[in-house]
Amino acid sequence: MRPMRTARTALLLGWRLHRAELVAVMIAALGLSIAALSIAAALDQITADCRAATVVVAPCGGLTEMGQIYDSATNTQMYLAMQGLAVLPFAAAVVLGVALVAREIEQGTALLAWPLARSRGRWLAGRILPVALIGALILLVPAMAGDVLIRSLYPGVDPGGNFEGYGIRGALLVVRFGAVLILAALVGAWIGRQLPALLVAAVLAAGLGIGVQQVRPYLFEAVEQPQSIRFIDRVGNSYVATRYRDADGRWMREEDAWELLATAGDRPGPDMPEEVFFAIPRERYPDVVLRESLVLVAVGGLLSGALVLVISRRRPG
Amino acid sequence: MQRFELRLLIGAALVLAVAMLAIAGQVRAVRADELACLAAAPPAVEGSTDGRCLEFLGARDLLDRATLATGAGALLAPFVLGLFLGVPIVAREVEHRTAAIAWTLSASRRRWLVGRAAPILVAITVAGLSVGMAGEVLMRSAPWNEGVDASFDFYGSRGPLVPARALAVGALGLAVGAVVPRQLPAALIGGGMVIAFAIGLAVVTDEWMRDATVPLPMAATQGAARIYDMGVQDDATGELISLDEAYAEHPELMETGEAPGLTMIAFVVPGTAYNTFVWRETAILAGGAVLALALATLVVRVRRP
Amino acid sequence: MSGDPVLTTRALAKRYGRRTWALTGIDLDIPQGGITALVGPNAAGKSTLIKTWVGFERPTRGGVTVAGIDPWRDRAGALGYLGYVPQSPALYDQLNVDDHLDLASLLRPGFDRGYARARLDELGIPADRDARSLSGGQQAQVALALALGTRAPILLLDEPLASLDPLARREFLHVLTDAVRGDGATALLSSHIVTDVEQACDRLIVLGVGRVLLHETVAEALAGHAMRTDGAASSGAIGTFAGPSGDRVTLVRRADATEGDGLRQASLEEVVLGYLASGRPGAAEAAA
């Protein structure tokens, strides 16, 4: 079979074998993208109204030039859409990944396919690559819609240099999808039954999602934020830590600072600790995205090795 | 046939229930110690509690977070239990091609379905019940509910709603699995239907709440009640206006929370309405479960194995 | 391949769990060419034996080779010589017949799609028919076509006839025999229906309680055995079982048997039954 024809056949078969799951992912991706874009349009209108208003202070229920929205309905919708975009790559990968191997084993088709393939690694590549490609293409749409949403929420800030909406937009959605897809396939191969594998993979994917959030502060060195920094200059920075400095300029323990602040209550004195924020500057956004992507690619590589090992050893039924 | 899922999910539900009870116990213990400390320590400033018994702050913070986390788990538990245990009852049988033999061995398909589904639905309900009861205990132990009898706090994470939701979702999963005899697509479709149903129920509940609200000045809101919405009352005319309208006419209200001649109002659903809401929703869920079970029975009787 | 045996086992034993031995020390050499029937009752170990050659089961003791290759050490190498038809083949519900051929072409370099397609056309199985709507016989034929399309020199078929009606079984065996004779391939076909394989097979292996009870050509098996029906004790007795009319009959080796009026020609099924009876506990005493 010629390479182009092979690729086309592989994609077509991948689509047919996972049509239900791919359609579900498409519907979710499209729905969230439409939601994000319509909210972006609403935010753009709020911004335009604000700019046109003669009264500067709280003119019109929305201050998107400052990344704040007082339109509670839009605020709620935006919150839900952002949560959905954050969860989408994980959910899509779990649903698609689990079916890759677990369904073959559960339905008994592995008995037919594995001997045909000679090499199980080859079989695995033939199954996982088309689904990964189709899934990645689907996720490009919400990835771009997320960028549009953040641009509308923060009109004065370049989305490429803005940590706001981190993980709900851009290439990171696709990279996260890829890593979790391999994880879900591994779980499916290990357990060999779709629904139990779905449960376990969902829990592990949630763990991975929490893990990548915890890792972010370590991906780039945070810098101390000047006390006098303007709002417009600090929006988009990634705040990773808060420390306290005593009146002599020495760093103090958080518990000691809280105790002093709690004791002072409404009557703070000159010896009160100074709260100091550390943030990764927003200009470093591309670097952090790249580094997280590399971490995920490394994790994906390890998981791929484990997946090949599990499938090689596994009985097909 | 569903040994793995039953052990995992029922086990997880029981662990959650035990965790909630343990947290409730700890909350009560820490609170008792804290109250004893406050009673023993003289206030730094007359009438102030600042700066006293700070050693309990960390434990309380941790327990508050544990309370909220397990409460969230109790909210999700019925959906996870119902979906992952309900869907495979029929769908796995058909997908594994064992339906043909199972449905011919049994005297009737209805008898087969009852034999397979009943134990699992009972297990789901019992697990939901244990989580619901533990949620009730946890809610009452939360420090912000001290002295409160009727409350909307932890709505959906406690009491009869938990097993009712679990059973309803289980029945729905069973029906979807019978119609779509492939486990993963059935789980996805079932999940989508549950989300749609939950949104619909939220809309209906919202209407009930709107109908049950009572306007009260912000200062007079009870801790037990649920604040449905906020508004502003014109002191002169007594007219109630929405917050958005008030902000538009009185921009200073957004900055300071105050404006001359206006009083902030909370539209409150009294805590005493909680039971009414719970039993209404339980009745809707029970009706839904019966319909789903009827559909599942019909589909199993007529479908090809 | 040279004249060496294409499939071998050496002291092969396979245990499931802690105590269940599916195979207990099997030595086999299957020569190149022809169709070998692997016959035995349920739980005799036929599927387990075939699966060790395919690389699905790892031997607990001993070893197997496929064209001289250990499938557990070099699975890809061994599978390169094999075409496999599983028991109750599960085709992909979401795919049609043509899609299955496409899948096989993707998975197996050198898959002869045209050859497989031609086999299915001869049987009138439409290319665009969904797999789930095919009859059991048609599904078995599709699985066979996929195996034949690999043009592998060795075919392993695990009870492919079990769920087929007589006409479908005949068609299946006809296609298999044609292909094997035409390509000079070697086939091993497991079944518990002896009458079906009698016409198609050249060699016979009888497997019982995890052991090889008989391994001969069909011609040798028929010529070398007889039935004693008079109930008299006989040297060379192998196993006693109930005949069609309920009387006890004994399979004997002609070379060792005492001639007499009670001897008659044994059918292949009776040869198999006699050896299976010999494999039962206490059967040796009963036969003597």
DSSP secondary structure letters along C133-180: GS-HHHHHHHHHHHHHHTT-SEEEESSTTTT--HHHHHHHHHHHHHHH
Are residues C198 and C238 located together in one domain of the fold?
Answer: no
* Residue A134 forms part of a structural domain: yes
* Residue A140 forms part of a structural domain: yes
Find which of B179, B188, B256 to mutate to test the A interface (most A CBs within 10 Å of its CB).
Answer: B188
pLDDT at A54 over 60: no
What token pair was written down for C137?
A: 């016989």
Are residues A262 and A299 located together in one domain of the fold?
Answer: no
pLDDT at C229: 81
Question: C8: which DSSP letter?
Answer: E
Confidence band of A51 (pLDDT split at 50, 70, 90)? low
Are residues C143 and C269 located together in one domain of the fold?
Answer: no
Q: Cβ(B77)–Cβ(B288) under 8 Å?
A: no
* Residue A286 forms part of a structural domain: no
Tell me which residue of B225, B223, B196, B189 sits closest to B91, measured CA to CA. Answer: B189
pLDDT at B250: 75
pLDDT at A72: 66
SS3 of A91-129: the string is HHHHHHHHHHHHHHHHHCCHHHHHHHHCCHHHHHHHHHH
pLDDT at C8 over 80: yes
Cβ distance of B184 and A106 shorter than 8 Å = no
For chains A and C, CB pairs below 8 A equal: 80
pLDDT at B135: 93
Top-confidence residue, C133 or B259? C133
| AA letter at A17 | L
For chains A and B, CB pairs below 8 A equal: 76
pLDDT at C285: 39
Q: Cβ(A125)–Cβ(A14) under 8 Å?
A: no
Question: C214: which DSSP letter?
Answer: E
3-state helix, strand, coil in chain B (%, to 5): 70, 10, 20
Chains with at least 3 CB pairs less than 8 angstroms from chain C: A
Q: Cβ(C79)–Cβ(C155) under 8 Å?
A: no
High-pLDDT (> 90) share of chain B, %:
38
Cβ distance of A9 and C105 shorter than 8 Å = yes
Task: Calculate mean pLDDT across residues C220-239.
Answer: 82
Number of domains in chain A: 2
Full residue range of the structural domain in which residue C261 is found: 221-287
The least confident of A275-289, B169-183, B279-293 is A275-289
> For residue range C19-66, what is the model confidence (pLDDT) as tens digits?
888 888 899 999 999 999 999 888 888 999 999 999 889 999 999 999
Number of domains in chain C: 2
* Residue A227 forms part of a structural domain: no
Question: Mean of the per-residue pLDDT values for chain C?
Answer: 87
Cα(C86)–Cα(B1) distance, integer angstroms: 24
Top-confidence residue, B287 or A59? B287
Among A61, A70, A195, the residue with its CB nearest the CB of B187 is A195
Q: Cβ(C176)–Cβ(C187) under 8 Å?
A: yes
Cβ distance of B192 and A20 shorter than 8 Å = no
**B107, burial (CB in 10 Å: exposed 0-12, middle 13-18, buried 19+):** exposed
Confidence band of C288 (pLDDT split at 50, 70, 90)? very low
Q: Which residue of C has its CA nearest to A317?
A: C56
Instruction: Report the range out of B13-22, B42-51, B94-103, B207-216 with the highest average pLDDT.
Output: B13-22
pLDDT at A105 over 70: yes
Top-confidence residue, A43 or A181? A181
Are residues C58 and C156 located together in one domain of the fold?
Answer: yes
Are residues C233 and C132 located together in one domain of the fold?
Answer: no
Cα(B87)–Cα(B109) distance, integer angstroms: 17
High-pLDDT (> 90) share of chain A, %:
50
What token pair was written down for B256?
A: 């300071």
pLDDT at A62: 52
> For residue range B211-225, what is the model confidence (pLDDT) as tens digits?
888 888 776 666 556
Are residues C237 and C265 located together in one domain of the fold?
Answer: yes
| AA letter at A206 | A
Q: What is the CATH number of the domain that holds C160?
A: 3.40.50.300
Domain ranges of chain B: 3-211+273-302, 226-269
Instruction: Report the range out of C5-9, C188-192, C253-257 with the highest average pLDDT.
Output: C5-9
Are residues A272 and A175 located together in one domain of the fold?
Answer: no
Q: Considering only CB atoms, which chain A residues are within 8 Å of C87? A: 111
Q: Considering only CB atoms, which chain A residues are within 8 Å of C89? A: 111-112
Among B51, B80, B184, the residue with its CB nearest the CB of A194 is B184
Top-confidence residue, B3 or C118? C118
pLDDT at C286: 41
Are residues A246 and A309 located together in one domain of the fold?
Answer: no
pLDDT at B12: 93
Are residues C265 and C181 located together in one domain of the fold?
Answer: no
Task: Calculate mean pLDDT across residues C116-136.
Answer: 90
Are residues C255 and C205 located together in one domain of the fold?
Answer: no
Tell me which residue of B162, B152, B154 sits closest to B209, measured CA to CA. Answer: B152
> For residue range B272-282, what is the model confidence (pLDDT) as tens digits?
888 888 999 99
Are residues A83 and A50 located together in one domain of the fold?
Answer: yes
* Residue A92 forms part of a structural domain: yes
Are residues C257 and C281 located together in one domain of the fold?
Answer: yes
Cβ distance of B95 and A258 shorter than 8 Å = no
Q: Is C33 left (phi over 0), alpha (psi -120 to 50) or beta?
A: left
Are residues C157 and C230 located together in one domain of the fold?
Answer: no
Top-confidence residue, C103 or A71? C103
* Residue C215 forms part of a structural domain: no
Are residues A68 and A152 located together in one domain of the fold?
Answer: yes
> For residue range A178-235, what is the model confidence (pLDDT) as tens digits?
999 999 999 999 999 999 999 999 999 999 999 888 888 887 888 888 776 666 667 7
Confidence band of C164 (pLDDT split at 50, 70, 90)? confident
Task: Calculate mean pLDDT across residues B124-147.
Answer: 88
Task: Calculate mean pLDDT across residues B33-44.
Answer: 76
The least confident of A62-71, A73-82, C166-175 is A62-71
Q: Considering only CB atoms, which chain C residues are within 8 Å of A17? A: 92, 94-95
pLDDT at C127: 92
**A59, burial (CB in 10 Å: exposed 0-12, middle 13-18, buried 19+):** middle
pLDDT at A263 over 60: yes
Q: Which residue of C has its CA nearest to A16?
A: C94
Are residues C272 and C240 located together in one domain of the fold?
Answer: yes
Are residues A107 and A152 located together in one domain of the fold?
Answer: yes
The alpha carbons of chain B give a radius of gyration, in whole angstroms, of 25
* Residue C2 forms part of a structural domain: no
Among A21, A61, A259, the residue with its CB nearest the CB of B247 is A61
Domain's final residue, options C156, C184, C209 = C209
Task: Calculate mean pLDDT across residues C138-148.
Answer: 91
pLDDT at A55 over 60: no
Are residues C129 and C268 located together in one domain of the fold?
Answer: no
> For residue range B102-118, what is the model confidence (pLDDT) as tens digits?
777 776 788 889 888 99
pLDDT at B147 over 80: no
Beta strands in chain A (DSSP E): 62-63, 68-69, 223-224, 238-245, 251-252, 274-280
Are residues A171 and A208 located together in one domain of the fold?
Answer: yes
Cβ distance of A193 and B4 shorter than 8 Å = yes
Are residues A79 and A173 located together in one domain of the fold?
Answer: yes
Q: Considering only CB atoms, which chain C residues are within 8 Å of A111? A: 56, 86-87, 89-90
Are residues A128 and A204 located together in one domain of the fold?
Answer: yes
Indicate if the alpha-carbon torsion angle A179, A183, A184, A189 is positive or negative: positive
Are residues A123 and A80 located together in one domain of the fold?
Answer: yes
* Residue A299 forms part of a structural domain: yes
Nearest-neighbour CA in chain C from A120: distance (Å): 8
The model carries a pTM of 0.83
Cβ distance of A196 and B5 shorter than 8 Å = yes
Cβ distance of C90 and A109 shorter than 8 Å = yes
pLDDT at C284: 41
Taking the CB of residue B228, how many other CB atoms lie within 10 A of it?
16
Cα(B244)–Cα(B250) distance, integer angstroms: 10
Full residue range of the structural domain in which residue A32 is found: 3-219+292-313
Helices (H), C213-254: 218-224
Using alpha carbons, list the distances in angstroms from residue C86 to C8, C54, C201: 20, 10, 19
The least confident of A117-131, C111-125, C236-250 is C236-250
High-pLDDT (> 70) share of chain C, %:
93
Domain's final residue, options C209, C234, C253 = C209
Are residues C121 and C263 located together in one domain of the fold?
Answer: no
* Residue C144 forms part of a structural domain: yes
> For residue range A1-10, what is the model confidence (pLDDT) as tens digits?
577 888 899 9
Chains with at least 3 CB pairs less than 8 angstroms from chain A: B, C
